[in-house]
Amino acid sequence: MKLFEGLNESQKEAASHLEGAMLILAGAGSGKTKTITTRLAYLIDEIGIDANQSLTLTFTNKAANVMKSRALALIQKQKLASPLLCTFHKFGLLFLRLHIEKLGRKNDFIIIDSEDKKRIIKELINEDKKLSSSTLSAYISKLKNEAKSVKDFFKDLELLKNQNPNPDTNPNPDTLEELARVYKLYETFLLQNNLVDFDDLLLLTSKILNVDENFKKEQSKHYQYIMVDEYQDTNALQYTILQSLCATHQNIVVVGDDDQSIYAWRGARIENILNFQKQFDKVKLIKLEHNYRSSSQILKAANALIANNETRLGKTLISTKNEGEEVQIIENFDEKAEASYIASKIKKLLSQGIKASEIAILYRVNALSRSLEEAFMREKIPFKILSGIRFYERAEIKDMISYLRLIHNPHDNFSFKRIINRPKRGFGNKALEKLENLGKTQKKSLFQALLSVLDTNFFSAKLNEELKNFANELKNLRELSQNTDLKTLFVSFEKSFGLKEYYKNLIDGEDRVQNMDEFFASLKEKAREYESLEDLLNEISLLSDQDDLEGESVFLMSIHASKGLEFDYVFIIGLEEGFFPLQNDINELEEERRLAYVAITRAKKGLFLSHAHSRFFRSSRAQIRKSRFLDEITNENKDKKEESKNTEFKKGDLIKHKIFGIGRVVSVINKGELKLGINFGGIERTLLASFVEKIS
């Protein structure tokens, strides 16, 4: 069949699978995207399945866009087919726009980002708070991704109170009380203002699917063919949604790599992929092990490293490329010498015609980028850091987005409060409080309340004039948004409100205005792609870090940010104990090793692994030893692991650890490298024996 041309035998078998559950264990660079898109085209074009009955989910906009364009290019017979292929959160957004009324809510909700969320929480918590808004925001996100509502959390809290308190193993009840209180206040605020946060896109979707059994079955029958990319990254909530959508069938195909499960810290459950064969009936397993990205030398390093993990399904990457360059280990005295060496190495690569954008430097700890930035600036090497403040999270960009939200929906109180005094109109906290009280009395939005008093002396004459101009501009732009094309709207918006003049006068005004110019140019370009302002605002709310990955620069980024990317040449720095791996607990160590595996498999042609003998970190300089991963990669010292002063351990032994202090051995695990279960004052940890010393 022509559609299957260019696929290897394993890919063909996966792409031609029709019904029933299937797990495609796809190694890095093994052509999983090609396999998924071919299967989708096969179902629609060759089998005749209605494209509307398919649902393909992934994690990034970039991946979704690539997959959709490839799938549509393969579909020849049903040219008008439009399969739903998007991120989990985009699916949640589309689903909620259609069905959120089942929860008694309106579908013109506004999506807030993480910074908006922290700001709301900061306003809600008292001055005597025990936890920061960032900590509270992260914990609320964790609860939502575990599918726990406010009601669920209060139930958990009651159960905890009835247990015997153990300060070593249970969280502080006072801390949990504050979390519960803030979670409830936060959810009430979202409801009152018709806002949803990023996590709600999935939590509310799951809630709707499970509140009505008949509706759940109806949706399951609608989505008859489900495919999920990067399945190892799914969390408890995403798993629940998938289970609901499979209520009437088991036509689910998941594609993933347990060796690339690196997001446990944000709720991803490696168990989802490890246990998939137990959770569905007669699961077909296909391994994609042929790698089309990296040289043999790079894959040899990756395979050698990941073989040290015990919790895995097991596969070996086989290169389809030539042997390639040897993996180079870079050793330097300190971070300055390391940065200078890497800068000189990159200058050489650039002089050989290698594009800057084909070179990446990866690190486990973000702070390690500082010395590299200094060296690159000194050597005039163009670079871009893929971290820090995202473009769409900059204050000036968020202001413009808030104006657009208000043009779309004048009753959006959240956006109104953000921009009513930007630029300065003399509208301070007292004026806002006065208007909010009026709005509550009249049961109107802030904008409606404002309109009701513009012809009175509710505000001072000067402020009233400013607010009249603001209201008139907003009404004119809203009228334009409803009666003309988006490009015309954006041209008029750029000239309104005096935002550029406001930001131009700030200390970093030039940079801010450049960002605004870039944003307006982007809006005008996107105007052709979207039917309405609402569609555009929805898309902006779902953008991710990797959507800003462009330009001819060397890229510096955390290893987590590099997931899904590939480069000709990759430098991994900070390969020292305490930096990478960052943790020594057994479970955490396996994830650290998976993270190193991800980093290695980003490289196509050349791989450089760097360690230093000394680093300045957190206000002090320390002597450090190289990462165990380097020995595992090079297969050196296989039988010469670092030994503790006494390697004979038994249950009951008293030991000392440099971080956790004194503990007692509760179990000895002789599987592979010697591991010990140790009780440190009520908290049990599993550590490598080589990291502790027995106390005689």
Catalytic positions, written as ranges: 32-33, 229-230, 260, 602
Amino acid at residue number 426:
G
CA–CA gap between residue 654 and residue 677 (Å, rounded):
12
Of 681, 20, 643, nearest to 286 (Cα)? 20
User: Under a CB-based contact definition with an 8 Å cutoff, are residues 669 and 621 in contact?
Assistant: no
DSSP reduced 3-state for 623: strand
What's the sign of the alpha-carbon dihedral 150, 154, 157, 159?
negative
Select from 571, 613, 625 the least CA-distant residue to 369. Answer: 571
Peptide bond into 423 cis (omega under 30): yes
CA-to-CA distance for 571 and 388, rounded, in angstroms?
Answer: 20
| Residue 23, both tokens | 């797990």
Q: Hey, what are 27's tokens? A: 């190694």
Mapping DSSP to helix (H, G, I), strand (E, B) and coil, where does residue 361 land? strand
Q: How many CA atoms lie within 13 A of 85 on its CB side?
A: 23
What size, in residues, is the chain?
A: 696
What φ, ψ does residue 685 adopt, rounded to 5°? -130, 150
Helix (H) or strand (E) holding 399: helix 395-408
Burial class (CB in 10 A: 0-12, 13-18, 19+), 311: middle
Residue that has been written with the tokens 């409801």 in this structure: 191
* 395-408 helix and 509-526 helix, angle to the nearest 10 degrees: 40
Distance CA 447, CA 435 (A): 9
* Residues paired with 556 in a beta bridge: 361, 385
Rounded Cα–Cα distance for residues 489 and 477 (Å): 7
C-beta of residue 667 within 8 angstroms of C-beta of residue 651: yes
Q: Can you name the residues that pair with 606 across neighbouring β-strands?
A: 569
CB 98 within 8 A of CB 107: yes
For every residue of 276-338, DSSP letters joined together read: HHHHSSS-EEEEE-EESSS-HHHHHHHHHHHTT-SSS-----EESS---SPPEEEEESSHHHH
User: Which residues touch 88 (CB under 8 Å, ≥6 apart)?
Assistant: 57, 58, 59, 202, 238, 241
Beta carbons within 8 Å of 623's beta carbon, 6+ residues apart: 613, 614
* CA-to-CA separations, 640 to 36, 302, 304, 331, 673, in angstroms, rounded: 44, 21, 16, 20, 11
Q: Which residue has the tokens 């190892």?
A: 232
The Cα–Cα gap between 226 and 240 comes to 14
One-letter amino acid for residue 271 of the chain: E
User: How far, in whole angstroms, is CA 425 from its chain's centroid?
Assistant: 37
- Give the single-character DSSP code of 71: H
Using DSSP's 3-state secondary structure scheme, residue 624 falls into coil
